[in-house]
Amino acid sequence: MQTSEINFKARITLQAIGSICFKLIFIVILFYNFHRYIFKYGSSDFINTSKEYVATPLFWQVGKYVFVLCLLGLVYLFLSFKRTNLNLKFFVVYFTIFYVLIINLISGFYYRQVIHTSLNRVNYQILNYDELEYVIFALMFFPLFYISNNDLKFITTKIDKYIVFAIWVLVISNLLVLLNYFIFDVLPFHGYEGSLLIRFGGFWDDPNAFSIFSCFLLFYSCHKKLWLESALLIINVVFAISFTGYVLLMVILFFYMIRNNNVLLFGIILLLVIALVGYLNLDFIEAIYELKKGSLESHSTGLVKFSVLPLTQPLIFHETWFISFMINYSPVSYIVIVIVLYYFIKIYFKGSYSIQNSLFLIFVISSLFLPFLYMFPLNILGFMLFVLNSKNIKF
């Protein structure tokens, strides 16, 4: 057997290992948060003592980092690295990531506190762990930029199959949660007995992240004209009772309306129907608003002090990530946000659909209302797709 043939077979074997690792990362993204509903784990900040939920154990919080790090470690071990010139987008994003890390470390050791505006309290802690979570995931994916593109071609194969599988996992898990409530009266974490405000987030048990991910998949299903899957994903978002999810539905609708006259007509009719249904159910909408009023107000209240210099105050956590980012990481944050908005307008009004483009649009809109980058697995998915996009691996 010739040496070239042996090397080729060895390369194929190593690529197969890389493929398996990425499939397992996909499994982590899709299924890891199932522990929330199955084991009744919730955020310690919002645990309701009248429920069976308990704070998520530390080993579950840390486990996602261990799984992803081990899998990426195998990818970097078995796949070949190639000298690659930095492109501008990659440089800007990772310069910002390192800047965020440095500001966090300096602020933590100087102030030793984080101001949490949505809870109206000061957390006395050295580091802002919410910020560091996405920094850690970003650094984990950094070496992926230098992996040979030939070794990563397998990522684009069977992508449609995996996304459709993800759609049905989310739909079926949410159906089970709904049936569990209506048949056995089992409340999800964001549900309140005797209240209209019962929010369903599938087995993720996180209505906001669940509805955002459902909208990301909805972008795909609409593009592929998978109308049944699209309808089921919309139902997911409706039952999540997420304001951000509802805004994203409109964003997706307008995205296709400005590109297709048939969709434009359908969209206008749909908006009129929605307006009519809303008018006929004003009392119900007002009741939901009153229940959500506190959450909505948390996006606009609290200590907000803008400055052109960093570290003039402790780091601030705000429900709207763009506000936190602007306050904490000036003046770099102002430049980055201008760049982000430029690309958003360019992609939304002139760009064509791609999986990476759709997630970028979802990220920008979500970050106007929620801390998208604090939400696992949205943060890990975002950085993985961004690095691949920087390598011109698009789908």
What's the pLDDT tens digit per position in 163-198?
999 999 999 999 999 999 999 988 898 877 666 678
4-19 per-position pLDDT tens digit: 444 444 555 677 888 8
305-314 per-position pLDDT tens digit: 777 788 888 8
> What pLDDT, on the 0 to 100 scale, is given for residue 6?
42
Give the pLDDT band of residue 3 (cuts 50, 70, 90).
Answer: very low
Q: Is the pLDDT of residue 354 over 80?
A: yes
Other Cβ atoms less than 10 A from the Cβ of 123: the count is: 15
Query: What does the alpha-carbon distance between residue 66 and residue 70 come to, in Å, rounded to a whole number?
Result: 6
Query: What does the alpha-carbon distance between residue 11 and residue 56 come to, in Å, rounded to a whole number?
Result: 41
What are the CA-CA distances from residue 304 to residues 10, 111, 317, 325 (Å)? Answer: 57, 17, 10, 12
pTM of the model as a whole = 0.91
> What pLDDT, on the 0 to 100 scale, is given for residue 267?
81
> What pLDDT, on the 0 to 100 scale, is given for residue 300?
54
219-245 per-position pLDDT tens digit: 999 999 999 999 999 999 999 999 999
102-115 per-position pLDDT tens digit: 999 999 889 888 88
Q: What is the mean pLDDT of residues 77-99?
A: 89
> What pLDDT, on the 0 to 100 scale, is given for residue 1?
47
> What pLDDT, on the 0 to 100 scale, is given for residue 296?
55
